[in-house]
Amino acid sequence: MSKRISTLPHLLRPRAPGEPVSRWLVDALQASILDGRLRPGARLPATRDLAREYGVARGTVVAVFEELTAQGYLRSAVGSGTYVHDTLPADLSPGSLPAAISSGARPRAAAARRSAFARRARSFGASSPGPARAFRTDLPALDLFPTTLWAQVAGRRLRRLTAHDLRGCESLGYPPLRAAVADYLRTARGVRCDAAQIAIVSGAQEALDLVARLLLSRGGRVCMEDPGYIGATRVFEAWGARITGVPVDAEGMRVPSPRTTAAEIAYVTPAHQFPLGVAMSLPRRLALLDWARTARAWIFEDDYDSEFRFSGRPLPALQGLDTHGVVIFSEASAKSSSLRCVSATSCCRPAWSTHSLPGSRSSRVTRRCSRRRCSPTFLRDGHFGRHIRRMREIYAERWTTLRDSARSELAGALDVSPIEAGLQTPAFLAAGVDDLAAARAAADRGVETTPLSRYARRPLARGGLQLGFAPVEPSEIRRGVRELARALEGLSSGR
């Protein structure tokens, strides 16, 4: 029997009044997949048919399919169509969901009972389990982490375990770890902080969630870099924020216009902008701080992967320039150090109460030993610093391999930007080449790329692809570049 679904009558829940079309379509398709109405392997209708059936623009359906493909719900096969992925991201597969959801029992009634937050929340960031092919962006070189050393350090701590360690930990984290992190951030990143201002979190998403719960009022405005990091937008949207995209130029995010002075939070990546890679200039940093003071807004500084600077002057954190306590500094990238902390002057006391409510009080044993790359001993004994220095060299070699092979094989077709820091780079396509088509052509040749337009709220002046190099061996980087060159050649000859 064919798995083809020619139409989706009654399959998608109706759109709520005022609900944006693309958000509804993403949510409705996700729900149909998760409750089993759309089974793994099922083929979806053609975008044209779906658009006609539900009275929406075809471009919207295409963009939604792209997004669900990136999230791991769908896969597309060239010339044959779009299918529900056979293996859903582990945390989303029907078997792992609560029975009421996975059985498909009365899903619409259940949806109606969800909170406004749950209806707005769109999943983000399920990493696919496959190998680290060129040019995967969501992984560090996990195989090079000193796991044996880590296990020895953790083992020593476990041997000294006492009954006291079995108690719940303080909600903002194990105090000696917070102190070690504060020391590190003061010296390595120029952050002005002490241990009392540090919260240990599980990643950037948790840091953003904590900050949104703490500082955002209902319907409050958040300024986001455009193009910018989708993970942050998702969190703020789930909390009901109104998002304003602020353009990025060669000096980083522009200062929001006076029309957006009502913004409550501005999210920025000043060390190297995500995804364009530019560092925010000093005058722009000062102007942004000025704006935040006048607008009485907070700045969320996402310092992801900033340890990995390959050239240029190291840039201290924006938070270090802040004399009014308006910057919340987050070093929470799984790719670099996994320090996973948030530091904020003046909002630490309320953060304590806010974070204590969901009961994030794992035992001291977990806090002392099992944070993947971060424990007080690992930091204080210098293992962490050594690991970062070693990885900086390895990543620098991978970056150089990518840059040099792109120069010789991709000249004229893809212009790889000269980044100074970070573990992925933007690469710009020749004028008029569509980045979604380019990413699809690359995927057909076994090369993973992310179209830059995926991160943009407004059309970009020039299409491009984001390429990651951290988990990719140099030989695989060279293969990726060769395949990418062929993919782009095919695209321009087919135009």
Ligand X SMILES: Cc1ncc(COP(=O)(O)O)c(C=O)c1O
Which lies closer to ligand X via its Cβ, residue 47 or residue 333?
333
Rounded Cα–Cα distance for residues 449 and 443 (Å): 7
Smallest distance from ligand X to CB 229, Å = 4
Nearer to ligand X, 138 or 448 (CB): 138
CB of 476 to ligand X, least distance (A): 20
Cβ-in-10-Å burial (0-12, 13-18, 19+) of 251 comes to middle
- Between 206 and 483, CB nearer to ligand X: 206
Nearer to ligand X, 26 or 207 (CB): 207
Nearest residue to 291 (alpha-carbon basis) of 331, 259, 313: 259
Nearest to ligand X of 361, 372 (CB atom): 372
CB of 228 to ligand X, least distance (A): 8
How far apart are the C-alpha atoms of 421 and 407, rounded to whole Å? Answer: 19
Task: For ligand X, give the closer residue by CB, 236 or 274.
Answer: 274
Nearer to ligand X, 82 or 333 (CB): 333
Measured CA to CA, the distance from residue 5 to residue 26 in angstroms comes to: 18
Amino acid at 67: E
Cβ distance to ligand X smaller for residue 331 or 483: 331
User: Applying CB under 6 A, which residues contact ligand X?
Assistant: 138, 203-205, 229, 269, 274, 302, 304, 332-334
Beta carbon of residue 111, minimum distance to ligand X (angstroms, whole number): 27
Residue 466 C-beta: closest distance to ligand X, Å: 10
Taking the complex as a whole, how short is the minimal distance between the CB of residue 324 and ligand X, in angstroms?
24
Query: Which is closer to ligand X, CB of 405 or CB of 425?
Result: 425
State which amino acid sits at residue 59. G
Measured CA angle at 84 (ends 240, 233), to 5 deg: 20
Nearer to ligand X by Cβ, of 84 and 465: the residue is 465
Nearest distance, CB of residue 133 and ligand X, angstroms: 17
Q: How many residues does the chain have?
A: 495
CB of 201 to ligand X, least distance (A): 8
Report the residue number, 322 or 331, with the smaller CB distance to ligand X. Answer: 331
State CA 398 to chain mean position distance.
21
Amino acid, single-letter form, for residue 351: A
Burial class (CB in 10 A: 0-12, 13-18, 19+), 175: middle
Q: Rounded to the nearest whole angstrom, what is the least distance from the CB of residue 138 to ligand X in the complex?
A: 6
Least distance from ligand X to the Cβ atom of residue 204, Å? 3
Q: Is the Cβ–Cβ distance between 24 and 15 less than 8 Å?
A: yes
User: Residue 8 has which token pair?
Assistant: 């989706």
Kindly state the smallest distance separating residue 127's Cβ from ligand X, in Å: 9
Q: How far apart are the C-alpha atoms of 65 and 277, rounded to whole Å?
A: 27
Q: How far is the CB of 75 from ligand X (least distance, A)?
A: 22
Alpha-carbon span 302 to 204, nearest angstrom? 8
Closest to ligand X by CB, 157 vs 189, is 189
